[in-house]
Every structure is written in structure tokens, then in C-alpha cells.
Structure 1
Amino acid sequence: MAESKEMVIILTGASRGIGQAIAHHLLSQHHKLVLISRTHSALDQLHYQYGSDRVEVLAGDLADFSLAAKAVERANDRWGRLDALVVNHGTLDPVKKVADSTVEEWRTGFGVNVFSAVALVQAALPLLRKSHGRIIFTSSGASINAYQGWGCYGAGKAVLNHLALTLAVEEPLLTTVSVRPGVVDTEMQREIREVHRGAMSEGDAAKFQGLKRDGGLLKPELPGRVIARLAVAAGRELGGRFLNWNDGALKEFQEEA
């Protein structure tokens, strides 16, 4: 597909995995990014590789909801607009059965996975309405499938799917899409295999071990490219939908450049 004009995009979770792949694709197409990370150093390579004229890094924990407004302000002050928001961050914690977890653990998990996303959306809406922009959520298969110990994570991703639906109704000037990226070879997958396997069912733990052993994990660049292109060019017909990264409806976004 043809890439569009240069755009200004806020991207979270860009320091590794899918987020890093999204960042590389967008920056290689000369878009301008505000990248949010808990530490500036995690994104120094992107800043160095593509230059300060196209990369702004905002350091902080997204559980601090004021960071959302700061990111939007940074985009507006630096480039005078905002064309897209890509909400790609998240935590798997707490990985515990519902009976073994606490409400506070769920509150913390939702603070990272859900409430920070709402804060980002609310802060970005005024500028995105002006640009008729896009919001892309990186969701998960866990939003529609249950895994032992993943209740907080899966429920949070399900909220993002519904948030995309709601925004499609409430914000007709925007296009909002929720994307399931598949099982990707990321740091989170390593944590699933090495840190959290004891809290999961034997079958689920064996499944993820087998995917790594047998080469069944996706490279981050595959769904990353699709999500990046959706941020730039998703059409209104996709608004509110929850789609697999390799869904037929996204064929034009999957093609090699």
C-alpha cells in the first residue's frame, strides 16, 4: 500500500518487541513520533538513529495519568498537530487465579492496561478530531480466550476492544481499531515461559513452551508493520472493529513494502 503524508503519532510501549517494530516502520517512512517509556535510555537508539527532528521521548510511568496530557502537549508544541495514537503498552501482572489475587493487584493492572489508555484517549481527542485521526489499540487473543492466571490482563484487553467500539459511535470523525497481534516473540513471551509458567495451567504453559521450541512465534515486524500502517491509513470502514493482524480485511496493510 502507498504510504501517506508525514504524520505526527504518539506511540506507547516502543522500547521493545511489537512497539519497537512499529516505531521503526513509522520512522522509516518519515513520520514524527512522541515515544513514551519509563526510562529515556530505553529509546535512545531510536532517538539516535532517526534524529531529534523526528523523535520526541517522554520518560515516565503511564500509571501516572498526567503523562498522557504531557505527551499530547509535546506533540502539539513540537509539530502543531496530532494524527494518530497507538496504545501498545501493557503488563501481564498479576498472573494469579482470581481467588489468589487481590483487588489492589487488579487495580494496579488496570491502571497500566486500561486507565492509562483512557487517559491517553481523552487527552488526544481534541487534536485527533481536528486531524480526523486514528486510534489503534494493541489487543490480545486473551481478550476473547481465557487462560488460568491471566484474568486481569485478558479483562483489560477486552475493555480496549469495547473502547474501540464505543469510540466508533461517539467520535465519528475518528477511526479506532483494536488489533490482535498474534503470539509474538517478545519479552512478554519470555516472561510467560520463564516467570509465570507456575501460575498457569500445565496445558497452557506447555503450549507457549512449544511455540518457542518449534518456531511458532511471530516476528514482531509482522504485526508491527500492520499496526503502523493502520495508524497512518486505516479507513472508516474499520472503525470499532477487533481484528487479527492477518485478517483478510487488513490485506493491504500486510503486504511487503
Structure 2
Amino acid sequence: MQLLKDKVVFLTGGTEGIGYECAKTYHKAGAKVSIITHKEDSLKNCRMQFFNDDIHYILADVSKPVDVNRAITETLGRFGKIDVIHNNAGVSNPSKTVCDTTDEEWDKVFNVNVKGIYHTTKYGIAALKETKGTILNTGSLVGDIGQELHAAYTATKGAVNALTKSMALDYAPFGIRVNAVAPAGVWTPMLRRWSNQQPNAAHIEHYLDEIHPLGYCPEGDVVADACLFLVSEHARFITGCILPVSGGAELGYRRYMDQPSAKDGIVLPVNSKAK
């Protein structure tokens, strides 16, 4: 059964990592997908692997209102409607405390991770009202539990959680649902490159497996499957939900004595999402 047959998905950050897995999953489920990225090389590489008449690529920066307005207009011109806006684009840098974060770094992570959602909603809400569509935000488990040396990033993901719930209330009268997924560790090309560069790559892999009570760090397809559920009619009475896709990483007391930490000079990548 194609859960998104004849639906149109506007997906930001869709050429790498979790976003790319979502793009493939949505398309397999019957959707036409407009994939937005600000990375020209990534767009070209993705297009070579994943392309047909139901996939449309747009080079745009979600932090820039003119770019987002153009991308929404272009998607409507190509496919005629928008049923789903999935705000997946995001950045995780800098890996710093609040005091060490510069004004420019702080503004960049908020402009992409939070203001990007503001832009897609502002310019896409009229289309969603027409289709009684849905909005999905990619959050992170750290938005609830925090993480050392990622103060700005975790602040944005906490904001995404609150924004998701407020938007769910604001747009429910129009039949529009708004939800978020909150992954923990996820194997993506970015995370694999990072782990292979560490002095003890095997230890890193063991650590990433062990933070999840289910016993392994997953691939991006597990997040994509959860996203597919939330944007489909199977979730038609779910809104304002922050769905952990974490293998239980938030449960119990799981700080291991041998885990890498800031004191060891190791800063773990947040949420493991390549954008």
C-alpha cells in the first residue's frame, strides 16, 4: 500500500543522511518530492543516484526568506500543490559552550534550525490549508535532555519542540497537523566519516551502540519510517507529538564510565544527521 499516493512533499535538507532516507521512503510510498538543499555538490550527487519525473531538486537556503519563497512557488508550479512540509534541514555546529559560542555561530544555528521552520511555514501555509496537509519537523533527543558542548544546537532543538506544539494548536482549526521526530544516534555518512577519524574507532562504535537500550545505533531508514507514519493518514489524529526515534536512549541511567566525553578531547556529533 502506498501511504502517500498522489501526495506532494516539500522536504528540506533532503540530499544527505536522514533527509535522503526520507526522500526515498516518501517516493516509494507514492509521493512526489521536492528536495531542497543549499549544497550544490550534494544536490548534483543526489540527482545522479535518485531522479525521475516525480523528484524535483531546488537549490535554496532555508535561512533566507527569498530562497524559501522561491522554492515554495517553484514546487507549486511543478506539482500543483503541497501536502507535506518536512523541515529536516539543520546544522549542529558549533561544538562549544554558551560562553565560547560567537554571535555569528549562535545566529547561524538558530537561523537554519528554527527560523528555517518559520520561513517554510510562512510561505507554505496557504498551500497546506488548501490540502489540509501536515508539517513535520526533525528535532533531536538532545532538545529534551541536553548535551555537553552543544549549547546552541540543543537550544534550537528545544525551541523546535515548543514551536511544534504551538504550531499544532495554531493550525489545527485548518485541519493541519504538526509533529516532530526526535532521533538520538543515527548512522549517516557524516557520522561514519567522523567515527573513522577517531583514535579508537571501534570504541566509538561500541559507545554509539550502547547508548541505545535496544543495543545498536540505527541507520537513517528507521527515522524515515517513523516520518512516513507521522505524515500519513495512519497518524491522522496525532498532532503536537514529539516522537522519540531513539531506541530508548532517553530512558534510565546510562552514563557509562568508559564513554568518550569532553574531558577526553572528544566531542560527539549531535543527532548524527548530515544536512
Q: Flag whether TM exceeds 0.5 (same fold).
A: yes
Which residues in structure 2 correspond to 1:200-239 (within 5 Å)? 210-212=206-208, 216-233=216-233, 235-239=235-239
> Match for residue 185 of structure 2?
183
- d(CA) in 2 for partners of 1:234 and 1:104? 41
| 1:5-154 matched pairs, under 5 angstroms | 5-44=5-44, 46-48=46-48, 51-154=51-154
Shift of 1:22: 0.5
Output the amino acid matched with 2:206. G
Cα distance in 2 for residues equivalent to 1:234 and 1:119: 27
1:86-111 CA-to-partner distances (Å, cap 9, x unmatched) read 11111111111112112332111101
| Distance across 2 between alignment mates of 1:193 and 1:246 | 19
Aligned CA distance change for structure 1 residues 234 and 43 (closer, same or farther; 3 Å): farther
Contact 1:192 1:208 (8 Å CA) reproduced: no
C-alpha deviation, 1:14, in angstroms: 1.3
Give, in whole Å, the separation in 1 of the partners of 2:194 and 2:49.
31
Aligned residues: 240
Shift of 1:72: 1.2
Unmatched tracts of structure 2, length 5 or more: 248-275
Distance 1:175 1:236 in 2: 8
- Alpha-carbon distance between aligned partners in 2 of 1:59 and 1:3, rounded to the nearest angstrom: 27
Q: CA deviation at 1:65?
A: 2.5
Secondary structure at 1:100's aligned position in 2? coil
- For residue 93 of structure 1, what is the amino acid of its counterpart? N
Quick one: distance in 1 between partners of 2:156 and 2:204? 21
Q: Judge which range, 76-85 or 232-241, deviates more.
A: 232-241
Aligned to 2:240: 240
CA deviations over 1:140-162 (Å, ceiling 9, x no partner)? 01101121111111110111111
Give the match's secondary structure for 1:121. Answer: helix
TM-score, normalising length: structure 2: 0.77
- Residue by residue over 1:144-193, the C-alpha shift from the partner in whole angstroms, topping out at 9 and shown as x without a partner, is 11211111111101111111111111111200001112310124535765
Structure-2 residue corresponding to 1:255: none
Deviations 1:19-46 (A, max 9, x none): 1111111112231111011234423455
Aligned residue type for 1:221: D
Structure 1 103/41 Cα, relative in aligned 2: closer, same or farther at 3 Å?
closer
Residue number in structure 1 paired with 2:176: 174
Change (3 A) 1:207 1:51: closer
Gaps of 5+ in 1: 198-205, 248-257
Distance 2:203 2:138 in 1: 22
Distance 1:92 1:208, change over 3 A: farther
User: Sequence identity, in percent?
Assistant: 24
Q: Which moved more, 1:235-244 or 1:6-15?
A: 235-244
In 2, distance between residues paired with 1:180 and 1:224? 12
Distance in 2, Cα, partners of 1:39 & 1:246? 28
Partner of 1:58, secondary structure, is strand
Higher percent of residues as helix: 1
CA distance in 1 between counterparts of 2:96 and 2:48 reads 39
User: Following the alignment from structure 1 to structure 2, what is the Cα–Cα distance between the partners of residues 246 and 3?
Assistant: 23
Alpha carbons of 1:151 and 1:192: their partners in 2 closer, same or farther (altered >3 Å)?
farther
CA distance in 2, matches of 1:18, 1:245: 12
Mark the CA change 1:150 to 1:6 in structure 2 (over 3 Å): closer, same or farther: same
Q: Could you tell me how far apart the structure 1 residues matched to 2:208 and 2:89 are?
A: 22
